[in-house]
């Protein structure tokens, strides 16, 4: 019997300068593994990530309905081309709901009208919405815009943050944009605002239909004096 094995090939990686190679060498000696093993492990992880369906969670900040409605029409066009399951979580605002469920024909994930509830009931209410979207998506990647979260934040920013944390434990396959109006965020404490930012991979601000990406990083005090 002749055994067969995978053919091993050499991979030349360009762009590694002496400093990076030196750091890899130091790490290799500390960990007791070869540089080849470190690089192979990094490549294996990257390939695995490419095969997994992403579960992204972004923050979308807007200050008026007209601006965000213009953005929604652009998102709709891109989602159609990508064959995403287009859905939303409606708020009490009828104009945005009318656009999404009427003109654009997005799926409304809400199963019952929202009323201010206890924290326990709110968790169950939001969990039912996620389950409803997941069931109806038929395993397609989801493109979802959550406007209900703004209604929750209008009553309590801390309740909204708690719901965001719960969603992070069981995300939908695809992208969820959690949409907040600026007045709700600006009335929150800095501590709550930073915590909310940290719960999302990316933060986008909508102005007149244009999108701006906001970068939030923790810095040392001495950065205040650097040009």
- Asked whether residue 85 is domain-assigned, the answer is yes
Q: For residue 67, give the CATH number of its domain.
A: 3.40.50.300
Q: Do 34 and 115 fall within a single domain?
A: no
191 with 81, same domain? yes
Q: Which of 34, 51, 68 is the last residue of a domain?
A: 51
Residues 103 and 185 in one domain: yes
Same domain, 26 and 132: no
| Residue 54 and residue 174 in contact, taking contact as beta carbons nearer than 8 Å | yes
Q: What is the pLDDT along the chain (227 residues), one digit of tens a residue?
A: 444 455 556 666 766 677 777 787 887 888 778 878 777 777 766 655 545 568 899 999 999 888 899 999 999 999 999 999 999 999 888 889 999 999 999 999 998 887 776 767 888 999 999 999 999 999 899 999 999 999 999 999 999 999 999 999 889 999 999 999 999 999 999 999 999 999 999 999 999 878 999 998 888 898 888 86
Residue 32 sits in the same domain as residue 129: no
- Give 90-98 contacts, CB < 8 A, sequence gap 24+: 90/147, 90/148, 91/147, 91/148, 91/150, 91/151, 92/151, 93/65, 93/147, 95/65, 95/69, 96/65, 96/68, 96/69, 96/72, 96/147, 97/147
Q: Domain check: are 44 and 112 in the same one?
A: no
Q: Which domain holds residue 179?
A: 55-214
Number of domains into which the chain is organized: 2
Cα–Cα distance, 91 to 110 (Å, whole number): 9
């Amino acid at each position: 019997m002749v055994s067969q094995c995978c053919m091993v090939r050499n991979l030349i990686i360009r762009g590694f300068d002496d400093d990076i190679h030196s750091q890899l060498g130091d790490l290799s000696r500390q960990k007791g593994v070869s540089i080849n093993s470190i690089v192979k492990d990094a490549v294996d992880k990257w390939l695995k990530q490419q095969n997994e369906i992403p579960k992204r969670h972004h923050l979308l900040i807007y200050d008026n309905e007209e601006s965000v409605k213009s953005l929604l029409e652009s998102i709709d066009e891109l989602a159609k081309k990508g064959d995403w399951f287009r859905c939303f979580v409606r708020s009490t605002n009828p104009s945005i709901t009318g656009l999404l469920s009427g003109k654009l024909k997005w799926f409304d994930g809400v199963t019952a009208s929202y009323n201010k509830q206890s924290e326990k009931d709110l968790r169950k209410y939001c969990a039912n919405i996620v389950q409803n979207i997941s069931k109806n998506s038929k395993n397609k990647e989801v493109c979802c815009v959550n406007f209900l979260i703004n209604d929750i934040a209008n009553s309590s920013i801390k309740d909204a943050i708690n719901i965001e944390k719960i969603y992070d434990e069981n995300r939908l396959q695809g992208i969820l944009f959690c949409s907040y109006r600026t007045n709700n965020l600006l009335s929150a404490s800095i501590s709550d605002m930073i915590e909310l930012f940290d719960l999302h991979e990316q933060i986008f601000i909508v102005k007149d239909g244009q999108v701006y990406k906001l970068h939030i990083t923790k810095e040392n005090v001495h950065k205040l004096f650097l040009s």
